[in-house]
Structure 1
């Protein structure tokens, strides 16, 4: 019996984003593959108050079987690392997809500029749909199939409920404020990762910094991919996952 593979989506999204690769992942893994909604997103009605990474991760951990493999994309990567540290009996391995233990740019750490996240927060209040669309556009930046990627992403997401306001606001706070580098450095389970070289949210330069923190960390970079490699470069992505499983 293999470990269940659990797929965690990113900010503003839902489990629908994994539909393009879920069948192939099931074939590769030959065991149960499950995509779940983060608290407050999609079909997850559970939304902690106040919404913190700890409270939301605790809710998520309750849904996991022991020794799960967590594949976290973007914000989902922070959840995966956090759960691995706090509920290690639930996690056998973490696979990060376009995710970093620290998303915000800091001295000596490449990341998202503070004003970008602040702008998103401001716009979220007035124009939720437009803000999420802008975020989708950033995710596809640099990818040769950017326009098609965004269209595809939107179609997949529309099969599920819109995210709750509290989850969106808190999600941006988590991306802006959480620094899981100490946790990443001491992670009790193996951490693997897949990156896109053209990613605007997890800059290529951040990868070497991550490798310096955790000597057991292994990763692959897809050259022409951006922030959603499993959509823009599906075959390369699946090849990378195969070696990590």
Structure 2
């Protein structure tokens, strides 16, 4: 792990591997860059791969706020500090929403966009059938405050469709994704969950002009696949990739297949 000092004095931790064109990967809610530890060595054969810990997650310092704009500002400052111009950007779940915000606000920095298990709106609404009921998300917030570690463990298991992975594979994933035992700060987890409840990016998808791959598991229990299809239809240069029998984290349950799709797109 490496660390940058941001202008406001906070530290931002990140992983880096390989040489070549830059590829930045953004993790999901309540996770860290460790979720990419398995796929980074393979990607590093062709790319300079960077994966930051979002504020309050992994080794990165807490922030005062956790809006998409705050996460995106940290990433842009990281790019400037490392002297990176345009690059390929991948985001999973909440990280995908941050990636969408960056593609909208700084299109000159993003050459290609990879969205994994991403939604423009996390919460079910009268005109949005591809989300979770707000009552369920509010219940998740209460449970985090009552039993933080157990609630995160239960949410981790929701990442996968029933029988998608073996118990041995589950332990293997936990071994690298949570190998250091580090969980997000509770305030960061709650702040990020609040952002997920509020964000609605549907009206801004037309502003994304770069080639985009939208990858989604057909059996995603956190973000219904219809949300991914909506993204693919709303982004001008998007390709849709649905993986049968797969849940919310294709690169964890089907790493080889996911890498093949990523390489083909990023080439």
User: TM-score, normalized by length of structure 2?
Assistant: 0.84
Q: Which residue of 2 aligns with 1:77?
A: 96
Report what 2:41 is aligned to: 23
Q: How many residue pairs get matched? A: 242
Which residue is equivalent to 2:65?
Answer: 50
User: Is the CA contact 2:117–2:228 (under 8 Å) kept in the aligned structure 1?
Assistant: no
CA distance in 1, matches of 2:51, 2:239: 23
More strand by share: 2
The question of 1:106 aligning with 2:121 is answered no
Quote the RMSD (CA, aligned, Å): 1.9
1:16, 1:159 within 8 Å by CA — same for their partners in 2? Answer: no
Change (3 A) 1:55 1:215: closer
Q: Deviations over 1:132-153 (max 9, x none)?
A: 1111011113352153454233
> Quick check: 1:179 aligned with 2:200?
yes
Runs of 4+ in 1 over 4 A off after TM superposition: none
Q: Which has the higher contact order (CA 8 A, sep 6+)?
A: 1
Whole-angstrom distance in 2 between the partners of 1:3 and 1:199: 31
1:126-183 superposed Cα distances (whole Å, 9 cap, x missing partner): 2111111111011113352153454233222232632122210111111111011122
Q: Deviations over 1:9-49 (max 9, x none)?
A: 1111111111111111122xx1201121111100112x321
Q: Within 5 Å, which residues of 2 pair with 1:76-225? A: 76-109=95-128, 110-145=130-165, 147-156=167-176, 157-159=178-180, 161-225=182-246
> Do the aligned partners of 1:98 and 1:195 also contact (CA within 8 Å) in 2?
yes
The farther-off stretch of 97-106 and 107-116 is 107-116
Contact 1:7 1:33 in 2 (8 A): yes
Report the CA distance shift for 1:211/1:88 in structure 2 as closer, same or farther (over 3 A): closer
SS at match of 1:20: coil
TM-score, normalized by length of structure 1? 0.91
SS at match of 1:117: helix
Q: Which has the higher helix share?
A: 1
CA distance in 2, matches of 1:142, 1:205: 19
Uncovered stretches (5+) of structure 1, i.e. residues with no partner: none
Shift of the 147–115 alpha-carbon distance from structure 1 to 2, 3 Å rule, reads farther
1:37–1:43 CA contact under 8 A, matched in 2: yes
